[in-house]
Amino acid sequence: MKTRDQLLASHCVAAATAMSEAAVVQQLEVVDQWTFADDALTRTYRFENYYETIAFVNALAYLVHREDHHPELRVSYSSCEVRYNTHSINGISQNDFISAAKTDALYLSAHSGGAAPA
């Protein structure tokens, strides 16, 4: 299991391997606001208005493009549901947890006025 700091310092890799369900459950303790259901890690982020929601989506697009690991998004006026899984392996990999941790850091940064994660 990787710590939050280890996930944030890591980058997604092309040769990802599937994690066992037990490993997924254990790693979820680190990104505790995410859930595992329907073969995906999922979290919904809340915002004050549409502008904030879209600003988050645009910042997330930049982040995931750099990691080359793209989530499914469901965007509404004041929320964005983010779902990660590794389609190439039909399961969950460390890439999903790396991306989830970085997405959390992006959200926290936007709400605290800090800098976005690298």
| 69 vs 114 pLDDT, higher one | 69
Global pTM value = 0.92
Q: What is the mean pLDDT of residues 4-33?
A: 96
Q: What is the mean pLDDT of residues 86-96?
A: 95
CATH class of the 18-112 domain in this structure: alpha beta
| 117 vs 8 pLDDT, higher one | 8
Q: Specify the DSSP element, H or E, that contains 61.
A: helix 50-67
Among the ranges given (30-44, 78-92, 100-114), the one the predictor scored with the smallest mean pLDDT: 100-114
Q: Would you place residue 113 in the very low, low, confident or very high pLDDT band (cuts 50, 70, 90)?
A: low
CA nearest 93: which of 41, 54, 53?
Answer: 41
